[in-house]
Structure formats: C-alpha cells, structure tokens
C-alpha cells in the first residue's frame, strides 16, 4: 500500500509545520496537525489488522507480534528521546526555567513546571518516558517534558499491547458490519468526549489536552475504527474497491478534508481537535489503500523517513528558536522543512533502518520471530 506511506510523510510534515508555527508563534491554522494525528491512529489499526490478521493471545504469537512492534518503534524512539533529554538538561542547567522561553516552548506545555519538582527530579520523569509511561502521567506538563509530540507514541505502544486481544474479538464480527460498527464507535467517542468535557471544572486547552486529546483510552477508539475498516475491506466486493479508486470519490474526500480543516477552529472545543474528521480520515485511508503506485522505492523512503520526521522535528525547531532563526519569509520556512526532510532520510538510512534490520536478524536467529519475511516494511 505505497500511497499510505506517502500519506504518512504528508501527515508527519503537517505536524512538523504546525509545531513550527506553535514554537515561532506564526499564527497559522494548526488544525491540520490534530487531523494528521488522528490519521496516524486510524492508520495504525488498519495496518495492524492488514499485516497481522491472525494475531491472537497465544504465547508464540504474542512474542512475535510484540517483538516486531518493539523493533519497529523503540530503537529510534530511545535514541531521539535521549537526545531530547540532553537538550533539555543542558538548557535547564544553563538558563533554568527561562530556557523554555529561549527554546520557544509554548506556555500551555510548561504551565506548572516552575512550581513542580520536574527541574530537580527530571531523571525520574525521563525513566517514565523511556518506558512509555508518560501518557499516564497526571494532567500536568510532565508528559510533555522532553519532546511534547512523543505522547502519541505512548498511545501507540498502548494500542500494540492490546491488539492481540482485540483482533480475535473483531474476527467474530461479520465483515460486512465493519464500517457500520466503526461509525457507531465514532459516535461513542463523541459522546465520551462530550461527557468528559462537561465534567471538567475548567474547559481550557491544558485540561482538554491531558484528559481527552492525549488520553490513550479515548484514542484507542480510533485505533479500533481502523481495525474494523480493514476487516470490512477484506470482504469488500470488487465494485466497492473500484468505487474507492473513482477520481470523483477521491476529489470529494480531499475537498471534505480541506473543508473540515478550515471550519474546525470555529467548532467548540474539543471537537475541533480531531473528532469530527475521523470518518473522512477513514475514507481517505480506504481510498489510498486501493490506489496503485509505480515508484515503490520512493514510497518506502517516504514511509521510513516520516517516523524520523515525527521524532526529531520538535527538538530541531526548539534549537532553531534558541539560535534566534527568523522566519520572516516563505523561503526560510521551505528551507527548514527541506533540511528536516533531508536529515530525516539520512538518519533513517544510516541509523534507524540498519539497527532495525540487525535486530530482526538477531531475533530471527534466536527463534523469536515466527516468519522470515523481516524486510523493513515502513508502514507495518
């Protein structure tokens, strides 16, 4: 599914551009970043169901699946988390709390740091992040301490932990009911969001971010929606797949996505964050999964580098802000984005991909992986 890899690259760049605006206070509409994050979550469920349709809670299968997910996600995450922590520790050591202003860290991500023990006990918080426990931190800046976007990876690992137990349940569902159940789950997520917001004492962005937007339990629904969509697609008729490739359907989907992104800021929180776009994102993923693409090598590079872009962009933007880079023209923005893409491709080619492939071979030689097709598949 090469177009899904290209979609991952575009989504990662959308997040990077939104965060560039956030750090440099450019005032751009950053709704596309929240939409892109939902796209990633729905895609994860879709791809896991496609790549591991027989996954179930049996010891040998669990070891195989979880080890593949660890090899895919963890090595690069640990490397760049350590680099982000070094950047954080150096800045705090040199400038104290004032470092957050120097780096351009938004206030809603640092609102309680000065009055907390994070600066003196950041090593403990680092261990939480190292073990993917940051998403279950209290509603505070602690979960965003080193590189704020990494919270989504904590949610991803939570999804992967549950996937072998979810997939057998999905297989009991009639395939033709997949999309209908996905729609019901989407509505249920909306109800959960609404109820949670009504219970919040203060409907500001910080509490919404912690309780709803970055809550793995709430975002799990998007993951399951992706699983159900793949379950439906596996039995879809040839005519249904042809319709997904219809240029009119593709155009309608793109227009609807752009429209959602444009009007979302005017919709009351938290629905403007991500929820209203989920059905369109699912439609988009189904379309992209059916479109043929000739230049597969490009799609592999796009998919592989997208993960690195997501991992490193925030720290790079903070470094650029600390160096007093001025974004006063589109050419500067373009230059920063090109530099991010080139650096990410190089890191993927010479660090991430070799390390992962070496770990795949090592695990296979020790009999820990069930299948031998361990070629680096960026989407899977």
User: Per-residue pLDDT tens for 250-300?
Assistant: 888 888 888 877 777 666 655 556 788 899 899 889 888 888 766 678 888
What is the predicted pLDDT for the residue at 82?
93
* 251 in a structural domain: yes
* 233 in a structural domain: yes
Helix (H) or strand (E) holding 270: none
* 359 in a structural domain: no
* 224 in a structural domain: yes
* 3 in a structural domain: no
CA-based nearest residue to 278, from 47, 36, 49: 36
What is the predicted pLDDT for the residue at 201?
57
What is the predicted pLDDT for the residue at 146?
85
Profile the chain (380 residues) by mean pLDDT over runs of 10 residues: 88 93 86 86 94 89 92 94 90 85 85 60 81 68 79 91 93 88 91 73 59 82 94 79 79 83 68 77 89 78 93 95 90 94 96 94 86 50
Q: How far apart are CA 314 and CA 326, in angstroms?
A: 17
CA-based nearest residue to 78, from 120, 129, 117: 129
Helix/strand/coil (H/E/C) assignment for every residue in 185-223: HHHHHHHHHHHHHHHCCCCCHHHHHHHHHCCHHHHHHHH
What is the predicted pLDDT for the residue at 375?
46
* 172 in a structural domain: yes
Q: Which two tokens stand for residue 66?
A: 């979880």
* 227 in a structural domain: yes
Per DSSP, the chain holds a count of helices (H) and strands (E) of 15, 0
Distance of CA 85 to the CA centre of its chain: 20
User: Which residue segment(s) compose the domain that 68 sits in?
Assistant: 31-293+312-322
CA distances from 155 to 24, 44, 129, 221, 321 (A): 27, 11, 12, 11, 28
Number of domains in the chain: 1
* 337 in a structural domain: no
| Helical packing angle, 2-24 and 330-347, nearest 10° | 130
Whether the full predicted model's pTM is greater than 0.95, yes or no, is no
Other CB atoms within 10 A of residue 105 CB? 23
What is the predicted pLDDT for the residue at 48?
94
């Amino acid at each position: 599914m090469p177009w899904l890899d290209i979609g991952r690259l575009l989504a990662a760049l959308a997040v990077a551009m939104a965060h560039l605006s956030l750090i440099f206070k450019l005032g751009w509409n950053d709704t596309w970043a929240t939409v892109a994050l939902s796209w990633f979550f729905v895609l994860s469920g879709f791809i896991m169901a496609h790549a591991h349709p027989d996954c179930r809670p049996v010891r040998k299968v669990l070891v195989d699946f979880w080890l593949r997910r660890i090899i895919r996600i963890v090595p690069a995450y640990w490397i760049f988390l350590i680099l982000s922590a070094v950047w954080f520790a150096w800045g705090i050591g040199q400038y104290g709390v004032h470092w957050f202003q120097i780096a351009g860290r938004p206030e809603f991500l640092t609102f309680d740091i000065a009055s907390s023990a994070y600066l003196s006990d950041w090593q403990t918080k680092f261990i939480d992040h190292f073990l993917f426990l940051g998403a279950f931190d209290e509603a505070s800046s602690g979960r965003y301490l080193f590189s704020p976007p990494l919270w989504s990876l904590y949610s991803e690992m939570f999804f992967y932990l549950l996937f072998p137990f979810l997939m057998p349940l999905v297989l009991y569902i009639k395939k033709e009911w997949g999309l209908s159940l996905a729609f019901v789950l989407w509505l249920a997520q909306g109800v959960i969001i609404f109820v949670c917001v009504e219970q919040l004492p203060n409907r500001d962005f910080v509490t919404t971010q912690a309780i709803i937007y970055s809550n793995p339990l709430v975002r799990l629904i998007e993951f399951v929606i992706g699983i159900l969509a793949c379950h439906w697609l596996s039995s879809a008729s040839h005519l249904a797949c042809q319709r997904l490739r219809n240029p009119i359907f593709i155009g309608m989907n793109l227009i609807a996505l752009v429209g959602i992104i444009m009007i979302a800021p005017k919709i009351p929180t938290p629905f403007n964050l991500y929820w209203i776009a989920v059905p369109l994102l699912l439609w988009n993923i189904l379309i992209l999964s059916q479109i043929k693409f000739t230049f597969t090598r490009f799609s592999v590079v796009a998919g592989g580098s997208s993960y690195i872009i997501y991992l490193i962009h925030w720290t790079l933007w903070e470094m650029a802000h600390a160096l007093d880079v001025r974004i006063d023209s589109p050419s500067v923005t373009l230059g920063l984005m090109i530099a991010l893409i080139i650096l990410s491709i190089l890191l993927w080619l010479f660090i991430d991909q070799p390390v992962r492939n070496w770990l795949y071979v090592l695990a296979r030689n020790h009999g820990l992986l069930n299948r031998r097709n361990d070629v680096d598949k960026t989407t899977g």
